[in-house]
Chains A and B, each alone.
Chain A
Amino acid sequence: MKMTGNYRQGIERFIPSPAEAVVLATLLFFTWYLYGGTGNDVFAGLSTFIVVAIAWVLGVAIRVALNDMRWWLLVIALLLVMAPWLALNTFQIAVMTEVLVFSLLLHGLNVVTGLTGQMSLGHGALVGLSAYAVAILVDHWDWPLLPAMAAAVALTFAFGFALGIPALRLAGPYLAIATVAAALVFPLVLKLDSVQDYTGGVQGLRLHKQPQPPGFIGGFLENESIAKIPEQKKFAPEEVQVKERQKFAQATYLYFLCFGVAAIGTFAAWNLQRSRFGRAFIAVRDAEVAATSMGVNTALYKVTAFGISALYAGIAGALLYMVVAFVAPESFDLFNLSINPIAYLVIGGLAAPGGAMVGAFGYKWGPEVIKKIARTDTDFDKLQGALTGLMLIVVMTRMPQGVWGSLTRLNSFSWKALINETKAWVLSRTIAYWLAIALGVAVVIAIGAWFAPVWGVFAAGLLVVAPQDAWAGVFLWLRSLPAIGRRRAPAPGDAR
């Protein structure tokens, strides 16, 4: 067995590393949310902890066997397979399905933005092109769904290649704005009178028949012991229960269809990055001129990157139409599918398939969680955008590599070094400096009496964007705690 960096012995094996602690906390929060969140059901909370405890015990067991971090991949895959049964209702299954679809879109964006370094803010148009192509083929020419989806993906792939050729001339912000322009024009063109016969104008197009699970799968999923129906329908009449079970079977079937595609897509993205193509993309991003002089055909690779990216976007668009069963120009407005995905991709972490997965998860579940919390306070609902924005800024200033980058970096994290650095930094400032900070906080609090919520948001933002000043107190408190960080196994040459 290869000894990896996180080699541990004895009782240490049962202490989660910082990275694992983050994953466990995320699991805890997410399952808590799935099982009713703020509800007062004792069992909801209990099952949350049971899920996390099982994950932890499983993790420790596999770690003992493998001494490796990769077991988390297994746990995540297991959770994804179990997701329809973890979810509370069919709506949550649908959201999970969309997470998988969006992860495909983000993988595609990752190829063009993360690996090749071309900023594209117009992928919403590609997704829309694919979704509308399927919709028009099905709705207007009565194609069956699957061939229509294949044709739409092929069309988007070809279009992406074609789009890559003019994009060769543009660089940096100019490319970004040209793609923004494309994303802006796309929904407007759909609404034009001359194409309304095909696109349905503002009303959009509806998919009347979503794919049904074939006989034996449907029978299996509708089985009483397999299908999960909402608690309040448990004692409903038989026909209602049957209907609920059918709904569950339908949603779960779609989920697993998307799961299959997303798994293949993620695997392909993972391998693409380490292939000849992936390395060429990264070379184009990091040093274009140098790559050219080394014999890399930069133009070819840039166009290929656009093509692959459009392929992913096309698959995502076709699946999106299948899952949502509806397209309208409003779905493809600038923020929904063009700017937000890239924002969440950067939050998740560029140039890493894991980052795309994390980003897709955050993109679909972040607003849902915020909405859930918002139920307790109506004003909170209006500040949802502010929270999202704050999150964007916090992640971008505190974790420039994104969440995934920080997670992988946490392996080499040491509390001791952090505390020492913080201590040195705090001591390097004069007392007058800290008094000034305290005075500033006092003033903000005093003014806050007049304009409290805005200043509250402002101060919260300040706490995170200027952390050296604000968090210093927290770190000072942390210093008093015993260091629970991972210790390095003594190497043979180490002095005792």
Chain B
Amino acid sequence: METFFDQLAIGASTGALYALLALALVFIFRATDIVNFAQGEMAMFNTYIGWSISRPLSFSWIPFLSIERHINILNWHPEVFGIPLFLGSESDGSTRLGYLLIVIGTVAIAFVMGGLIERLIIRPSEGKNLLNAVIVTLGIFAIVNSIANWRYGPVPQNYPAPFKGNAVDFGLFKLGQHSLFALIVGVAMMFAIYVFFQRTKLGLAVRAAALNPQASELMGINTGQMLTLGWSLAAAIGCLAGMLVAPSVAGISPNLMLGVLLYAFAAAVLGGLDSALGAVVGGLAVGIGQTMVVQYIGSEWSDIVAFGLIIGILMVKPTGIFGSPVVKKV
């Protein structure tokens, strides 16, 4: 029975990551009606950016920017729970950016990149055939994947994780520190997203722009900006998910997010592509179901069960569990 609860906890932790990526998919689908196949690759590339800024610092190529020298003069290394906040000295003597700084920097870059992609690539293909936009996201997928392959190579690289220690024993179940961290961050992000969309004016504006562009334009909302914001947010959330996924698998590689994206799709469809709650429930269900199948049936069945289940559920509920029904008009 202990293994059961262990697997449940691990499944919930993976599921939280699936749910994060599924939420990103749902944002983009609600805002633009596009199923974004490039979501996982965008996250992967941004995670790589996080990897490259997490490497030992050397700013020798810009002499006046040697930050670590300036900051080290102060000899000020604040820490939170043992994690260096800004700069940390590694055991090999090199200086690296602290985890928090890496996360902030990477998410900021991802935010800008998501917006740029929407403005430069998605917008020219909007308002035409829906299939065109989907093909465009496939194009982004191919470009980002091959640039990552070319720039960083196919070999998985170690990824920094803030907590790498032993598993925490909760009595009923044990959970690795990183999985616990991922679960906590995932749940916190979901809560933050909920608050943003339900309790802030900006979130309301984004929802309005997605729901009824014409009416919200008349109400003075800049719908174009809201769409860009939606893509930016989705990219940032996906990037965060990628940074949590990378340490829990073999490390970061160009195909890091491919499997995760497929499960996130499964999660999003399971819950209904236009429902944020559905994405969360679907993500957890897919994550827990996957670990259970691997544990009790066999790992070669995990994908078959996951995708077979999706087809089955779509047969019963054609728009997912929480999705709103499609209304056809003449």
Enumerate chain A interface residues (CB-CB to B < 8 A). 113, 119, 166, 169-174, 176-178, 180-182, 184-185, 188-189, 191-193, 287-290, 293, 339, 342-343, 346-347, 350, 379, 382-386, 388-393, 396-397, 400, 453-454, 457, 461-462, 465-466
Contact = CB atoms under 8 A, between A and B. Distances in A.
Contact of A181 (B121, B139, B310): B310
B131 interface: yes
Contact of B142 (A173, A178, A188, A389): A389
A396 B143 CA distance: 15
Contact of A350 (B131, B151, B262, B314): B131
Contacts, number: 150
Contacts of B139: 343, 388-393, 396
A382 B150 contact: yes
Contacts of B130: 119, 172
A454 B141 contact: no
A289 B329 contact: yes
| Interface size bracket, B side | 35 or more
B136 A385 contact: no
Contacts of B314: 169-170, 174, 177-178
B142 A192 contact: no
Nearest to A340: B138
Contact of A389 (B141, B150, B318): B141
Interface of B: 29, 35, 120-121, 124-125, 128-136, 138-147, 149-151, 262, 265-266, 269, 273, 300-301, 303-304, 307-308, 310-311, 314-315, 318-320, 323, 326, 328-330
Contacts of A384: 146
Given A119-B131, A462-B120, A465-B121, A177 B310 contact: yes
B303 A185 contact: yes
A370 to B, nearest CB: 11
A388 B142 contact: yes
A181 B301 CA distance: 14
Chain A CB count within 10 A is highest, among B131, B140, B265, B319, for B131
Given A350-B129, A385-B145, A390-B143, A182 B328 contact: no
Nearest to B262: A184
B269 A174 contact: yes
A166 B315 contact: yes
Given A191-B300, A392-B139, 11 more contacts: A166-B315, A169-B314, A184-B262, A288-B328, A385-B143, A386-B143, A386-B146, A388-B139, A392-B135, A396-B136, A454-B151
Contacts of A169: 314-315, 318
A282 to B, nearest CB: 14
Contacts of A185: 303-304, 307-308, 311
A287 B330 contact: yes
B266 A386 contact: no
B300 A188 contact: yes
Chain B CB count within 10 A is highest, among A177, A287, A454, for A177
28 contacts: A170-B318, A174-B269, A174-B323, A177-B310, A177-B314, A178-B311, A178-B314, A182-B307, A185-B304, A188-B300, A193-B300, A289-B329, A339-B138, A342-B131, A342-B135, A382-B150, A385-B142, A386-B146, A388-B139, A389-B142, A391-B139, A392-B139, A393-B140, A396-B132, A397-B121, A400-B125, A461-B121, A465-B124
Given A172-B326, A465-B124, A392 B142 contact: yes
B131 A184 contact: no
B305 to A, nearest CB: 9
Given A178-B310, A188-B303, A388-B142, A173 B128 contact: no
A92 to B, nearest CB: 25
A173 B29 contact: yes
Contact of B135 (A189, A346, A382): A346
Contact of A289 (B128, B150, B262, B328): B328
Given A174-B320, A288-B328, A389-B141, A181 B146 contact: no
B119 to A, nearest CB: 9
Contacts of B269: 174, 177-178
The 5 closest A-B pairs by CB, nearest first: A385-B146, A389-B142, A392-B139, A389-B143, A181-B307
A285 B9 CA distance: 46
B132 A346 contact: yes
B273 A174 contact: yes
A461 B120 CA distance: 9
Contacts of A466: 120, 124
A289 to B, nearest CB: 5
B259 to A, nearest CB: 10
A373 B125 CA distance: 29
A178 B265 CA distance: 10
A402 to B, nearest CB: 9
A339 to B, nearest CB: 6
